[in-house]
Chains A and B, each alone.
Chain A
Amino acid sequence: MDWGLFTIQMLNGLQLGVLLFLLAAGLTLVFGIMDFVNLAHGSLYMMGAYFCATLTQLTDSFLLGVVLALPLTALLGWLVELIVVRALYTHDHLDHVLATFGLILCFDTAVDYIWGPTGMAIPLPDFLNGQVTLFGGLDFPVFRLVIIFSGLLVAALLYFMVAHTRLGMLIRAGASNRTMVMALGVDIGKLFALVFAVGAAFAGFAGMLIAPITEASIGMGNDIIIVAFVVIIIGGIGSIKGAFVAAMIVGLIDTMGRSFLDQLLKVFMTAQNAETSAPALSAMAIYILMAVVLAFRPQGLFPPKVR
């Protein structure tokens, strides 16, 4: 076992976990409070990346790009809520899924029209672009550490907002009993528009963080959104804490499975069999995890207390 590689993959897993949490948080808040299934959440992740790419090019600064792209993505989320989502609260989940599926088609095509079919790279400033030497002489890209820390920072911020502010109180109340909150005179429509916009900003932020590594590309949100759904199912829909724990577990299992499953399998089977089955098994790992969790706890690991 190469412990250096192991540590690096742990960090990579953590980085994926942080990104998944940023996505899952908005998804689970919107679902927890308004009972709305938003498939197009991944499109906001993509739009965040494209906004950031364009603004980085215009301003010649990645940091400025992020700072300007964040409110822009929130605004876009607010518009989506206003134009499409708001009309659908009284409909059932199937309608939510279909309409937001339509939104995905619109967003992907709009990006193709505006930015073209090829992806957009985001150049990093020098101070974010290098390697840093960690304990034990391991080299790790600075930017990946930045992703982990800024993601954790945002998670802490979100925790503070949900647990210690008036807005957070309303969000928690809305998630556990919407009717009661409305009866108390809270404009739940406004509250939700706000949550939707904040969720969009989180998703967009995740897109901005990953785009310098992978490029902003069409449909980049469509694969990761399913994983984000897996995260909130494992964590328990509507639970921020569940989303956080599940995101870390899923991020680690996915990354570790891809790098070490073949070695683990070699303990049980021939090297050749291990090498052929490992890729397929590691691709399935998080879904198997989800199935196992659901088989024992259909409501997820940390279901919200009142539903």
Chain B
Amino acid sequence: MTSLFRTGLPAYAMVAGLLFLAGLPVLAVWADNIFLIDLYLRLMILAIAAVSLNLILGYGGMVSFGHAAYLVIGAYAVGIPAYYGIYDGFLQFAIAILASAAIALVTGAIALRTKGVYFIMITMAFAQMVFFTFVSIEEYGGDDGLVIDARSEFAGLLDINDNFTLYYFVLASLILALGLVHRIVHSRFGMVISGSKGNDRRMQAIGFPTYRYRLASYVISGAICGYAGALLGNFTNFITPEMGDWVRSGELIFMVVLGGAGSLFGPVLGTAVFVLLEEYLSRLTQYWHFPFGAMLILVVIFTRGGINGMFRWLGERIGMGARS
């Protein structure tokens, strides 16, 4: 029971969730509601971004307030080659990953020299830098954005112009990202990262150059998020610098914290709640941001550890904590 509630939701519930995602397109066709596929495509792409952020925020304690920048870099890595008529998906995704990793390396090297709130603000400022760069490049549409006229081509192996194929491609990517983060977190490397979150000085005293470990995890996280950005560009077919606005970065953090930072499936859960709530609240009222914001404040004030923390808290109240 302890292990169950330490991570909040039981793992089998999350596996059931993934199975639900796998079956959703069939469900959408059966219910004659193709829109559901679009909704869950967006959900899963954002979930990959949230999972990447969780690697450094949840496990490493590095609150990056600029992660949406990697989304926008990834999206433009698809958009800019497409602007020149290059649709090779392998090339586009490689650019997305490498460009995000490179930017993460440079900005991370500076940002990680600082701690706490400085780190939050610096990552945010660097993301604004990326944002304004894309805004000011007129060639690629400036703040009007850029239309991608065809999705990535994978040498005939995969045709993601079909939304069903794209859906399963994204789902596979999400599972891959979760697997990757799981592997990293449970490796020696991951132990150093979370050890450094707990007590950086002690880790250094033991002899780990924690700065390098943290930077490496920051770069990996940025690269995964850039990959999610490339998916996002393919999904929307229309990209704007707006995708990397700092408000988007705030939303990503919220998704991670809402679901429970530092748990494997937490970010996916948080993203699901976020996107679905956004979707259905916005149908009720055009002023849905207000209850949304108020909920955010209440979640922060009254629950620690997001939805996962709520389950844990409930678990303790009901007495399950005591039994285990």
Contacts and interface: CB of A to CB of B under 8 A. Distances in A.
A226 to B, nearest CB: 5
Interface residues of A, number: 43
A298 B63 contact: no
A229 B117 CA distance: 11
Interface string A36-73: 01010000000000000000000000000000000000
Given A106-B289, A283-B135, A287-B126, A97 B65 contact: yes
A82 interface: no
Contacts of A288: 129
B246 interface: yes
A118 to B, nearest CB: 14
A280 B293 contact: no
Contacts of B287: 109, 112-113
B125 A229 contact: yes
B125 A97 contact: no
B292 to A, nearest CB: 6
Contact of B296 (A31, A93, A101): A101
Interface stretch (B35-43, B136-144, B158-166): B136-144
B112 to A, nearest CB: 10
A159 to B, nearest CB: 24
B256 to A, nearest CB: 10
B132 A95 contact: no
A180 interface: no
B151 to A, nearest CB: 27
B122 interface: yes
A233 B107 CA distance: 15
Which of A104, A226, A230: most chain B CB closer than 10 A? A226
Contacts, number: 126
Which of B126, B135, B246: most chain A CB closer than 10 A? B246
Contact of B117 (A99, A106, A237, A298): A237
B34 interface: no
A93 B138 contact: no
Interface residues on B, range: 35 or more
Given A280-B137, A283-B135, A287-B125, A295 B247 contact: no
A8 to B, nearest CB: 22
A113 B290 contact: yes
B120 A97 contact: yes
B119 to A, nearest CB: 9
Nearest to A83: B297
Contacts of B187: none
Contacts of B136: 279-280, 282-283
Interface in A163-181: none
Which of B57, B132, B246: most chain A CB closer than 10 A? B132
Contact of B292 (A87, A105, A295): A105
B116 interface: yes
12 contacts: A88-B301, A93-B116, A94-B253, A99-B300, A101-B250, A101-B254, A102-B300, A226-B125, A233-B121, A279-B137, A280-B136, A287-B128
Interface of B: 57, 63, 65, 107, 110, 113-114, 116-118, 120-122, 124-126, 128-129, 132-133, 135-139, 246-247, 250, 253-254, 257, 287-290, 292-297, 300-301
Interface of A: 31, 37, 39, 84, 87-88, 91, 93-95, 97-99, 101-106, 108-110, 112-113, 222, 226, 229-230, 233, 237, 276, 279-280, 282-284, 287-288, 290-291, 294-295, 298
6 closest Cβ pairs, A-B complex? A105-B293, A102-B296, A283-B132, A287-B129, A279-B136, A106-B293
